[in-house]
Amino acid sequence: MGKTIISKNGRFKWDEKKDKRNKDLHGFGFAEILKVFDDPFFLKVLTLLIRERRIAISA
């Protein structure tokens, strides 16, 4: 596991290595998507079908 990174406002934290993998696979890192959570049209959909907590975001 890599170093834990915490967002400036303290609302989010993520693993440095997982962030790098995300950048390599998808072309963006976690810090780049933080503004999505403050969007007035943000809709959070939770699922109970998987063990890991996930949030689905749609544009």
pLDDT surpassing 80 at residue 57: no
Supply the mean pLDDT for the chain: 79
How many domains does the chain divide into? Answer: 1
Q: Which range marks the domain in which residue 29 is found?
A: 1-59
Q: How far is CA 12 from CA 6, 9, 26, 49, in A?
A: 6, 8, 19, 23
SS3 category, 54: coil
Q: List, for residues 25-52, the tens digit of each pLDDT value.
A: 999 888 888 878 778 887 776 666 666 6
